[in-house]
Amino acid sequence: MQFMKRIFLFMLTNILVMLTIGLVFFVLQRFFPQLRVAGTQQLMVLALVWGFGGAMISLLLSKTLAKWGQGVRVIDPATATGDERWLVQTVHRLASQAGITGMPEVGVWESPEINAFCTGPSKNNSLVAVSTGIFRHMTKEELEGVLGHEISHAANGDMVTMTLIQGVVNSFVIFLSWIIANLLLRRNSDDRGGFGDMMMRHMVVSVLQMVLSFLAYVAIIAPFSRYREFRADAGGARLAGRGKMIAGLQALQDSFRLPQPAPEPSRAAMMISPGKKSNWMSTHPSIEERIAALKALPLA
């Protein structure tokens, strides 16, 4: 039932995006008649296909890409012992508390880095992974708070939500970049252009896509990513306890004094904490802001 609901929301989002793009472009045409060019409808469809297609492929392959890119070794619950057995049992217990029916895969990757992440196409098909360094620098109580945070990401459907937002952004960026390029390079109707004109148009489109993508990241994606971190912290506090969640964040803050490799930018948004500072481009709030929000959170 939940899966069908997400499929319905995905289809509804696509329809709303198409209607929104069409409405915005219709209004613009009323004020700028020069926008009435052939192929606009085809461009809208192409923007939606490319914009959402890439985002959906990334979502469906997220677990596989994380395993390959991060070198995650998935733990077999049947043979796990010691800390790894505790890790699997804790993740599955927190997942059950969060109402997740399909237990997440649990894995570790070899690194002195002190971090963890959750990814996957749905809450019932997810992967929770931690670095080996996190075992050496956190108590089990602190790590339980971190795991509660990651399980909350899955329970909140953050992976799907971020994919939908990225798909909307991609669609608008592709569509608007071509429209703006056509305005900037508009020629007389009797001028068919040539290879040079085509290359110039593609260069302008590429530059516009980079600029618009950056603006969308700063204005939409990064702020929402920071919001979802606050929400996952609150969820982790409800699952593992506010004290354990705060202790886990404080342990992460203390770890910044230790030398550790920075996570790659492509995977930084998945991690519980990619850095100690926050600014308008950060995917995560600062640890201080997150701890303050948890202390102010009314919890039973």
Q: Active-site residue numbers?
A: 150
CA dihedral 135, 140, 145, 149 (to 10 degrees): 40
Q: Which two tokens stand for residue 201?
A: 């148009």
Dist CA 150 CA 231 (whole Å): 11
Tell me the residue ranges of DSSP E strands in 196-259: none
- Strand order of the sheet with strand 125-131? 73-74, 105-109, 125-131, 116-122
Q: Which two tokens stand for residue 232?
A: 């996952």
Which secondary structure element, helix H or strand E, spans residue 119, and what is its range?
A: strand 116-122
Q: Which two tokens stand for residue 54?
A: 């890439």
Q: Which residues are paired to 109 by β-bridges?
A: 131
Which secondary structure element, helix H or strand E, spans residue 162, and what is its range?
A: helix 158-184
